[in-house]
């Protein structure tokens, strides 16, 4: 079994499609309006933006969350939580051993919170997860 699709609320499909096209650096795979659906293909996982979908908390992997946040802030995207280390992977259980898990949160064009995540070479001692 594998996850094939995640839906996210989008009150204004055009605005949301533009936001996610720029954030993901891909164009929509398909648009059906009506009834109000925009699809993106993320390496085989479909991201569906839909007027009737509930809000979801998406976590997107980016090469370096610190750089991504700086660029998004420069474009006027609201940064809810700046990039910070949430966990150090010492055993490889949830990420590559010897990496720190960095996370930040932004607000998308529709008011949804989106997490940005990077696993980067470790900078310090191991930390316990903070529930993020």
| Cα 74 from Cα 93, distance rounded (Å) | 35
Q: What is the pLDDT of residue 102?
A: 98
| Half-sphere CA count of 72, side-chain side, radius 13 A | 29
Give per-residue pLDDT as tens, 100-118. 999 999 999 999 999 999 9
Q: What is the pLDDT of residue 124?
A: 59
Q: Is the pLDDT of residue 126 over 50?
A: no
Enclosing H/E stretch for 50: strand 45-50
Question: Is 34 strand, coil or helix?
Answer: coil
Burial group, residue 128, by CB count within 10 angstroms (0-12, 13-18, 19+) = exposed
For a pLDDT cut of 70, what percent of the chain falls above it? Answer: 93
In sequence order, what are the residues at sequence separation of 6 or more whose Cβ sits closer than 8 angstroms to the Cβ of residue 96?
A: 89, 119
Of residues 34 and 81, the one with the higher pLDDT is 81
Q: What is the pLDDT of residue 127?
A: 44
Mean pLDDT, the chain, whole residue set: 93
The answer to whether the CB of 39 falls within 8 A of the CB of 26 is: no
């Amino acid at each position: 079994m594998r996850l094939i699709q995640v839906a996210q609320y989008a009150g204004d499909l055009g605005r949301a499609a533009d936001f996610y096209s720029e954030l993901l650096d891909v164009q929509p795979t398909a648009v059906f309006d009506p009834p109000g659906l925009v699809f993106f293909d993320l390496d085989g996982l479909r991201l569906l933006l839909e007027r009737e979908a509930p809000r979801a908390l998406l976590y997107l992997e980016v090469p370096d969350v610190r750089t991504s946040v700086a660029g998004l802030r420069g474009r006027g995207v609201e940064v809810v939580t700046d990039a910070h280390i949430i966990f150090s992977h010492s055993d490889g259980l949830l990420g590559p051993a010897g990496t720190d898990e960095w996370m930040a949160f932004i607000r998308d064009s529709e008011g949804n919170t989106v997490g940005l995540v990077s696993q980067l070479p470790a900078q310090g001692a191991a930390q316990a997860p903070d529930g993020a």
